[in-house]
Amino acid sequence: MLQLLDGKALSLQIKEEIANEVRQLTAQGHRPPHLAAVIVGNDGASQTYVANKEKSSHEVGFTSSVYRMPEHTTENELLEVINFLNSDPEVDGFIVQLPLPKHINEQKIINTISPDKDVDGFTPINIGRMVLSEDAFIPATPMGICTLLKRYGIETSGKHCVVIGRSNIVGTPIANLLSRKGFDCTVTICHSRTTNLPEITRQADILIVAIGKPEFVTADMVKEGAVVIDVGIHRGYRIIGDVKHSEVDRLCSWTTPVPGGVGPLTIVSLLENTMKSYKKNLQIK
Ligand code: NAP
């Protein structure tokens, strides 16, 4: 019988846990955690993401600051803001909302973020630490997927996990995380050059879909009883994912709804990473 990995409900629960901890620490006289965000330009989806991050920060008692910069901001102007945030001891973590305008070199900007404040987990240092199983900030979306699997007690050990998508922010890190000790999945990564995709995805006990194509995964691609995690978000007259839930859900043991699945956990992971940085900065165990 289909069961939902209810990201919305779980995110409310984890936010409450974070808010309780912040209340206790501030009552002891500590400053609240501080998460900052930098956004360049007027991309609608990015504005929504940053507004949601700001709202969630306030909900858990964090200080939140947003640096809104115009579309014509130069690379140097953006670097100045990043250097300022890197050196401000009262900022525990910050994110630079992607995508950046085309005239700005995205990787150069990411490489300038201090790994100790990189709560998005996008810098090469954090990605390297993650791959080496060292202490690291894990990118928020894959971290959210791991939290869903763990908190819902989904058995992963020895399972065949197929990931569709190999982006730096979702596909590649989730494939790495689930293959590591602790999750112990056998992982297959698929991408746009994969041949016989349905044949491979039908072997998945756990299917993670991060393609960016609306309702791409159909019933013929899914094994009966599979756990299906839909990372896709497509905003139209209604929000849909990368999975055609109207035909796939009847086959699944567990699935994530869209909206209300992976999305809310992504923001919560960012809060958790900020909390981790904050405690390190204040030397709180
Ligand atoms: P992306 O950077 O566009 O990567 C898409 C991946 O899918 C690429 O690796 C691409 O392969 C692969 N792909 C494209 N067409 C394919 C096909 N026909 N068959 C197999 N693989 C195919 O996307 P992303 O940033 O990972 O995001 C994926 C989706 O998740 C988007 O809808 C995005 O909006 C959503 N998202 C949601 C959250 C959240 O919080 N829920 C967070 C981030 C992203 P190649 O590498 O060969 O091009």
pLDDT average, residue stretch 207-235? 98
Q: What is the pLDDT of residues 260-273, one digit of tens each?
A: 999 999 999 999 99
| Cα-to-centroid distance, 213 and ligand 1 (Å) | 7
Give catalytic residue positions.
Answer: 53, 97, 120
CA dihedral 13→130→161→7, nearest 10 degrees, is 20
**What's the token pair of residue 156?**
């992963």
The closest-lying atom of ligand 1 relative to the alpha carbon of residue 166 is: 9
One-character DSSP codes across 126-151:
HHHHHHTT-S-PPPHHHHHHHHHHHH
Name the residue among 281, 256, 284, 274 with its Cα closest to residue 15.
274
Strand partners, 230: 209
Over the Cα atoms of the chain, what is R_g? 19
Q: What is the pLDDT of residues 106-152, one digit of tens each?
A: 999 999 999 999 999 999 999 999 999 999 999 999 999 999 999 99
Q: What is the pLDDT of residues 165-194, one digit of tens each?
A: 999 999 999 999 999 999 999 999 999 999
Q: What is the pLDDT of residues 69-92, one digit of tens each?
A: 999 999 999 999 999 999 999 999
**What's the token pair of residue 16?**
């409450």
Q: Nearest 5°: CA angle at 110, between 49 and 79? A: 95
State if pTM tops 0.95.
yes
CA dihedral 152→153→156→158, nearest 10 degrees, is -160
Q: What is the pLDDT of residues 94-112, one digit of tens each?
A: 999 999 999 999 999 999 9
**pLDDT in the model for residue 93:** 98
Does the CB atom of residue 200 touch ligand 1 within 6 A?
Answer: no
Question: How many Cβ atoms from other residues are within 10 Å of residue 19's Cβ?
Answer: 15
Does the CB atom of residue 233 touch ligand 1 within 6 A?
Answer: yes
The count of C-alpha atoms lying within 13 angstroms of the C-alpha of 26, restricted to the half-sphere facing its C-beta, is 15
Are the beta carbons of 169 and 49 closer than 8 angstroms? Answer: no
Mutation test residue for ligand 1: of 43, 106, 170, the one with most atoms within 8 Å of CB = 170
| Cα-to-centroid distance, 88 and ligand 1 (Å) | 34
**pLDDT in the model for residue 185:** 98
The closest-lying atom of ligand 1 relative to the alpha carbon of residue 193 is: 47
Q: What is the pLDDT of residues 227-260, one digit of tens each?
A: 999 999 999 999 999 999 999 999 999 999 999 9
Name the residue among 79, 49, 80 with its Cα closest to residue 66.
49
Q: Could you give the CA distance from residue 14 to residue 4 in angstroms, rounded to a whole number?
A: 17
